[in-house]
Amino acid sequence: MKSKTKKNIPVLYVKKLKVNFQTKTGKVTGVDDLSFSIFPGETVCLVGESGSGKSVSSLAIMRLVEFGGGKIDAGTIMFASNSNFQSNLIDSDQNKMREIRGNEIGMVFQEPMTALNPVFTIKRQLTEGLRVHKQMSKNEADIEALNLLKSVRIPEPERRLHQYPHELSGGMRQRIVIAMALACKPKILIADEPTTALDVTIQAEILTLLNRLKKETGTSILFITHDMAVVAQIADRVVVMYHGEKVEEGNVNEVFNNPKKDYTKKLISSVPKLGAMIGKKYPEPLKLDSKNKVKSIKIVGTTKPLLEVKNLVTRFPVTGGMFRKKIANLHAVEDVSFTINKGQTFSLVGESGCGKTTIARSVLRLEEAESGEVCMEGVDILKQNKKDLLRQRLNMQMVFQDPYGSLNPVMKLFDQVAEPLINYKIASGHNLNKKISELFDKVRLPRSFLNRYPHELSGGQRQRVAIARALALNPKLLILDEAVSALDVSVQASVINLLLDLQDELGLSYLFVSHDMAVVERVSHYVGVMYLGRMVEIGDRQTIFSNPTHPYTRALMKAVPIADPKKRFNRDDINFKPISSPIMDLGFVPEPSSYNIIKKGHYVLNNDIGYN
């Protein structure tokens, strides 16, 4: 695409960058001695876990880090706006930077939900940069905005221009943010975790979109992520970061096939890989590194049913009109049945909005189901009165996704874990102290944490506390609602191993709700795939993963990024349909789910749900 000589001049060259933050307790180093360069038309991935300084480096390049209290203390950032002229961004003043930002370096952020201004239309936000940098008139900018929306492949681009951000889905918003970043045809696009908050299918689409745009425009991409699988899919070169410092740098194939540093090895090995469990009938823990020996266990469980869900239907009323009458129903869960065996794991997998969390909540009756049966050892939970329901909940406990939101910030950890025991009057005094200490041992937390507050803990440690709290009542069933999704990969791996250990020790059953196919493959005995409130495919894990039959299951499998740079997405495979609305008129009577039996225990939905 470009001549050889031109390629040798990096479009961006970062040398010995050091960024510090001034805090109450003194200086904290965000990035230390970081050097790397990006050549024209190249994708460089900065990869590392949270706190590794990868976002800080990108903000430093944009000189936006100063707005967040950071200070660039040393280093150079050479930016070549053309082959003859290079300027050091660190010496540029903010006026000069404003000409570069959005014009020559575009940026895409992690959270599409909050990255757009909620009170302005898409058109207004898209045209702003064009009018500032390219001096376009209002009309010219409007036309260009429409072209941009078309280039990022948004359905119905004309209509989107007049909409507000909240009217669009996360995937569409991220496309808008990308369109905004690319508006002025920048030399470099910095993408800071652009797909982390998105579903796998949308992630696959955004990644192919970025790859395509890079080929079409010759833009260099600095891609920041924590996900090695995404790195394998998109990177030309990789820079691994840890605690603000560069650990390793190299060509993507080199880094994946022959990682030199232990940290890189650990990062690669802790990614749950799809297909890692082929030929293994039962879940087993991840082998993390050579230092910490993982017990090699196989979780067999039993075939005796513990929880049977039959024809579960949950709908939410949609109200409207002057007297807030019910005018429609949101069909969140529609005729779903499954069974969880004692000591085994049943996983519900699907994209956001497919109803998997609603099922989990309906089982505990945190959400009232419309009809159906939820039988726990023969007792129908849905028919219990308040008092009996309370007793039944002794057997079922839940762990939620967000370890920051699910713990009370003003209560000591001891009190939080003790609360269920006190509530059910199971233990008190010395006995209580002993029980809580044992629970902390079980989840591998030091007893010295008992008197701490949640903010003193990391995300993974908090999730362990949440698990300890759920285990306090000795439940038979744990409902894990995206319980490992918000954690860093290495932390995620250790929490998964903990869960598997606990299952082995205590004979627990899990209802595991997740959108992450690779994690599901690691932990499950049986898997149910959800789409638009229906269970589209259900079967044992090996069958589902080796012989996905429903078209949606297949699409979902294809969308999972593989941590191997040789197995990249085939662009023709990436053609997902937008999910249709689950809101139906009051008169709408959904047909019951009917299934084709592929083989014993492997069912595939027969109904037409708009995905064939």
Partner 1 sequence: MFDYTVRRLLIAVPTLVIISLVIFLVLSLAPNDPMAQVPLTVPPEVKEKMREALGLGQPLYVQFWKWLVQFFWIEPQVLIDHYFGTNFSEDKLRVISWQTRAPVMDTVVQRLPQTLWVVGMSYVVAIAISIPIGIYSAYKQYSIFDQAGTFITMVGYSIPPFFTGPLVIVIFAVYLEWFPSTYDTLHEVNNWESFIVQLKQMFLPVMVLAIQGTAQISRYMRSAILDNLNQDYVRTARAKGLSESIVILVHVLRNSMIPVITVIALNLPLIFGGAIITEQVFKVNGIGQQLILAIYANDLPTIQTLTFIFAFLIVFFNLVADVLYALLDPRIRYE
Pair 513, 481: CB distance under 8 Å? yes
Among 180, 213, 240, 340, binds partner 1 (CB under 8 A): 180
Q: Is 119 in the site for partner 1 (CB under 8 A)?
A: yes
545 to 200, 282, 348, 526, 541: CA distances (angstroms):
16, 13, 14, 10, 6
* E strands present in 561-609: 583-585, 595-599, 602-605
Q: Does 322 bind partner 1 (CB under 8 A)?
A: yes
Burial class (CB in 10 A: 0-12, 13-18, 19+), 268: buried
CB of 116 to partner 1, least distance (A): 6
Q: Give the binding range for partner 1 (CB under 8 A) out of 31-39, 40-48, 78-86, 128-136.
A: 128-136
Binder of partner 1 out of 41, 106, 285, 460 (CB under 8 A): 106
Q: Is 23 in the site for partner 1 (CB under 8 A)?
A: no
Q: Which secondary-structure segment (H or E) carries 106?
A: strand 105-108
Q: Does 128 bind partner 1 (CB under 8 A)?
A: yes
Q: Identify which of residues 100 and 519 has a Cβ nearer to partner 1 in the complex.
A: 100
**Distance in angstroms (rounded) separating the CA atoms of residues 78 and 105:** 13
> Does 99 interact with partner 1 (rule: CB under 8 A)?
yes
Residue 204, amino acid: A
Instruction: Report if residue 30 touches partner 1, rule: CB under 8 A.
Output: no
**Binding region for partner 1 (CB under 8 A) out of 115-123, 212-220, 298-306, 461-469:** 115-123
Q: Does 581 bind partner 1 (CB under 8 A)?
A: no
Residue 98 CB, shortest distance to partner 1, in Å, is: 5
* Beta-bridge mates of residue 36: 14
The Cα 578–Cα 155 span in angstroms is: 9
Q: How far is the CB of 115 from partner 1 (least distance, A)?
A: 5
Nearer to partner 1, 164 or 282 (CB): 164
Tell me if 61 contacts partner 1 by CB under 8 A. no
Nearer to partner 1, 86 or 121 (CB): 121
Structure-token pair, residue 425: 């009057």
Angle between helices 551-559 and 200-217 (to 10 degrees): 50
Task: Tell me the pairing of strands 26-38 and 43-47.
Answer: unpaired
Nearest partner of 561 among 201, 253, 287, judged by Cα: 201
Cβ proximity to partner 1: between 121 and 384 the closer is: 121
**102 touches partner 1 (CB under 8 A):** yes
Q: Which of 34, 44, 80, 116 binds partner 1 (CB under 8 A)?
A: 116
Task: Measure the N-to-C terminal CA separation of the chain; round to a whole number of Å.
Answer: 39
Residues that bind partner 1 in the complex, under the rule CB under 8 A:
62, 64, 67, 94, 97-103, 106-107, 109, 111, 114-120, 128-129, 132-133, 164, 166, 177, 180-181, 319-324
